[in-house]
A and B are shown apart, each in its own frame.
Chain A
């Protein structure tokens, strides 16, 4: 599996570290309530298809990436900088 880092270009999977579902990019407001925070912290989708994830390019430039990956085939649909997704 190879990921195309927007900064470094296409790199081997070993340079990256998986950080979890991209849910973590949508942090609820401090007063959003228990349900929203419970969802943010604990509840995750488990699809057999495309999943939005956060990876970090640990052994490369260090950027955090939002990756859309098909978890059945490992096909990478898109890779974006998490910083740009957040803006």
Chain B
């Protein structure tokens, strides 16, 4: 078989800066959804295997390169490392690496930009570093996580990469033009 060249959802685009904010395609590595079986006790196994806590609902743990992001009812997304084989005893593991578009949005006005797209209060008092939410980004279902003081990680389905970029650019321009 021919050697195929993997293409990221946004085709390894250059970061886009409008006003104070920059949107950058994020390569999170391997993405695995972990859905614990009913009554399974996975937290300790997970922590031993991956060195980060099993996230509570609406929380994310870990750091750049290895994150565990709460991803819905009874589901966590492991982003970065390959899942430890021992987890398979407690949970259904599904490779989602090619299924999601991931970008970071950073900058002083990042909250104002996202306020135009996401129906949630993302102010630091309410949505701190390590907080995450499954919600809508414009009309797409997605995941938003605060990973820094003014940096957010956004995920939507891979097929919606172009729409996500378009919506972010419009929101960034609309914030920037107001000065």
A: which residues have CB within 8 A of B?
A: 7-9, 11-12, 14-15, 58-63
Partner of B72, one of A9, A14, A15, A61: A61
CB-CB under 8 A from A11, the residues of chain B are 119-120, 135
The residue on A at minimum CB distance from B142 is A59
A61 and B58 alpha carbons, distance in the complex (Å) = 9
Residues of B near A59 (CB, < 8 A) are: 134-136, 141
Interface size class for chain B? 10 to 19
- A14 and B134 form a contact (CB under 8 A): no
Q: Is B19 an interface residue (CB 8 A)?
A: no
Q: Which of B's residues lie within 8 Å of A, judged by CB?
A: 57-58, 72-73, 75, 119-120, 133-136, 141
What B residues does A15 contact at CB under 8 A?
119, 135-136
- Shortest CB distance A19–B (Å): 15
- For the residues of A in contact with B, the DSSP-based class is loop
Q: Separation in Å of the B80 CB from the closest CB of chain A?
A: 23
The 3 A-B residue pairs with the shortest CB-CB distance, nearest first, are A12-B119, A63-B73, A61-B73
Smallest CB separation, B96 vs chain A (Å): 15
Listed A/B pairs (22) with beta-carbon separation below 8 Å: A7-B58, A7-B73, A8-B58, A8-B133, A8-B134, A8-B135, A11-B120, A11-B135, A12-B119, A15-B119, A15-B135, A15-B136, A58-B141, A59-B134, A59-B135, A60-B72, A60-B133, A61-B73, A62-B72, A62-B73, A62-B134, A63-B73
A7 to B72, CA, bound (A): 9
